[in-house]
């Protein structure tokens, strides 16, 4: 028999974002409070190093990166080795760890998720897992051949969508293991098989006995509507094929300035999906909240970790070289501290050589994948040159120092 009450143990709900996503986070917070009375969303702002930099928004609990307990130097290292999305996803296990010091359960929700009903199954289903970890797979059924989607895509992004993740205190070992990877390896790097925090959970779910949630009403999105059609009945939104209530909808790249699109992430239009009455109603409700908060909140400040003290952009290649040298124990100067500005400018000037090596290495790795026969012929005809190139490639990249 399905549960009829919300959580009976202390549960912390949180999200992580930069300030430009606050209207969506506030829309999530409002939907959470509507369906879980008394619950307050905790919002970790990755562009606030200290509590002094936090805005005042009474209806949510705002947290700066000081909440992580890592120290400012380590936070600044992370903001340099990672781009925005990488950084926001990297700190997820650390936020879980801190929240579990007081709460028995902790639930991460992407800032662009939206509750349509109380998450009644969450507490019991989390408790029923073997490892205290509950994850939502992207797909729960084989993908139809005519859907325009591919299960092969999951080889790039992972089996689970980490826009939702719930853990209890049994998961501390998993969180420590996860952070052990994400503190240095939370990269979007398809060539090396990495997709920020998600793909590590393909491994961690096995090692730490996570539960795959087979409820069709959680983490429903543009990517899996083909297997999870929604309808409206007297009780609200329900899944047409299973009769389960829709609990959590995930908006991927929803833009209030383009309300005719369910998602703006894809090159193809998603407007046809709004011809479905239930989906259109969900978008209407969510869009109204987002627009309301866009009007009420002050304009977001620019993300502060895109340029150094001299105003020069921090490119991905520059960040990767910084990361390699930091892992090698060289402790390069911070681009974000005024007192390090001169030292960083000198470091940046000298970084062009390892950047060139990194670019060449990435190009050679790419050539191995797309031109395997040509590369094999080159190695056979020019063995000395091939060994020289290989030595340079193998000593670089994300796994090399």
List the domain boundaries for the chain.
Answer: 11-296, 316-394
Give the whole-number percent of the chain exceeding pLDDT 70: 91
Question: Average pLDDT of the chain?
Answer: 90
* Arithmetic mean of pLDDT, 248-257: 91
Q: Within 10 A of 218 (CB to CB), how many other CB atoms are there?
A: 25
Looking up tokens 């998993």 gives: 174
Under the banding of pLDDT at 50, 70 and 90, the label for residue 1 is very low
Condensed to tens digits (0 to 9), the pLDDT of residues 216-242 reads 999 999 889 999 999 999 889 999 999
Q: What was the pLDDT predicted at 207?
A: 98
The pLDDT-based confidence of 6 (bands split at 50, 70, 90) is low
Q: Which residues are within 8 A (CB) of 350 and not within 5 positions of it... i.e. 6 or more apart?
A: none
230: Cβ contacts below 8 Å, ≥ 6 apart = 220, 237, 238, 239, 240, 246, 276, 278, 279, 282
The DSSP H or E segment spanning 113 is strand 113-115
- Please write the tens of the pLDDT for every residue from 149-176: 788 888 899 999 999 999 999 999 999 9
Burial class (CB in 10 A: 0-12, 13-18, 19+), 339: exposed
Mean pLDDT of 304-311: 97
What is the distance between the alpha carbons of residues 66 and 95, in angstroms, rounded to a whole number?
A: 11
Q: Round to whole Å and give the CA distance between 289 and 28.
A: 9
Say if residues 78 and 91 touch (Cβ distance below 8 Å).
yes
On the question of pLDDT at 8 being above 90, the answer is no
- Residues 66-114: pLDDT tens digits? 999 999 999 999 999 999 999 999 999 999 999 999 999 999 999 999 9
Domain at 11-296, CATH homologous superfamily = Spore Coat Polysaccharide Biosynthesis Protein SpsA; Chain A (3.90.550.10)
Is the pLDDT at 13 greater than 80? The verdict is yes
Show the tokens assigned to 179.
Answer: 């952070």
- How many angstroms separate the CA atoms of 136 and 103, rounded? 22
**Single pTM value for the model:** 0.89
The three-class DSSP label of residue 379 is: helix
- pLDDT 10s digits, 36-58: 999 999 999 999 999 999 998 98
- 394 pLDDT above the threshold of 60: no
Question: 368 or 336, which is more confident?
Answer: 336
- Given a cut of 80, whether residue 385 has pLDDT beyond it is no
pLDDT at residue 169, as a whole number: 98
What local confidence, expressed as pLDDT, does residue 202 receive?
97
DSSP label of 177: H
Q: What is the pLDDT of residue 152?
A: 86
* Distance separating alpha carbons of residues 3 and 122, to the nearest angstrom: 9
Cβ atoms of 3 and 123 within 8 Å: the answer is yes
Q: Which residues contact 188 (CB under 8 A, 6 or more apart)?
A: 83, 85, 86, 194, 195, 196
Chain-centroid distance, C-alpha 8: 28
Question: What is the pLDDT, as a whole number, of residue 26?
Answer: 97
């Amino acid at each position: 028999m399905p549960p009829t009450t919300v959580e009976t143990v202390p549960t912390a709900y949180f999200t992580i974002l930069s300030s430009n996503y606050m209207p969506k986070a506030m829309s999530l917070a409002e939907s959470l409070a509507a369906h879980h009375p008394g619950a307050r969303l905790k919002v970790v702002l990755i562009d606030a190093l200290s509590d002094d930099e936090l805005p005042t928004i009474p209806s949510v609990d705002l947290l700066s990166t000081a909440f992580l307990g890592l120290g400012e130097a380590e936070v600044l290292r992370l903001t340099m080795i990672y781009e925005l999305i990488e950084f926001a996803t990297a700190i997820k296990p650390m936020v879980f760890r801190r929240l579990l010091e007081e709460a028995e359960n902790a639930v991460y929700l992407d800032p662009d998720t939206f509750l349509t009903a109380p998450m009644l199954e969450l507490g019991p289903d989390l408790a029923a897992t073997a490892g205290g970890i509950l994850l939502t797979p992207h797909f729960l059924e084989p993908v139809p051949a005519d859907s325009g989607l591919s299960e092969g895509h999951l080889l790039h992004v992972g089996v689970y969508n980490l826009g939702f993740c719930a853990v209890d205190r049994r998961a501390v070992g998993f969180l420590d293991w996860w952070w052990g990877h994400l503190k240095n390896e939370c990269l979007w790097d398809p060539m090396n098989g990495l997709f920020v925090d998600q793909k590590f959970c393909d491994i961690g779910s096995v090692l730490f006995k996570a539960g795959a949630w087979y409820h069709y009403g959680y983490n429903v999105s543009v990517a899996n509507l083909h297997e999870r059609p929604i309808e409206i009945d007297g009780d609200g939104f329900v899944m047409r094929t299973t009769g389960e209530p829709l609990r959590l909808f995930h908006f991927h790249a929803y833009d209030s300035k383009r309300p005719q699109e369910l998602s703006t992430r894809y090159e193809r239009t998603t407007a046809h999906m709004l011809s479905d009455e239930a989906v259109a109603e969900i978008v209407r409700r969510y869009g109204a909240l987002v627009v309301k908060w866009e009007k009420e909140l002050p304009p977001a400040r620019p993300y502060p970790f895109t340029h150094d003290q001299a105003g020069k952009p921090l490119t991905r290649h520059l960040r990767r070289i910084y990361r390699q040298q930091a892992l090698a124990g060289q402790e390069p100067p911070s681009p974000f501290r005024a007192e390090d500005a001169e030292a960083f400018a000198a470091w940046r000037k000298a970084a062009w050589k390892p950047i060139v090596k990194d670019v060449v290495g990435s190009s050679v790795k790419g050539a191995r994948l797309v031109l395997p026969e040509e590369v094999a012929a080159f190695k056979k005809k020019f063995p000395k040159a091939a060994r020289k190139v290989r030595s340079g490639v193998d000593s670089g990249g994300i796994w090399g120092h």
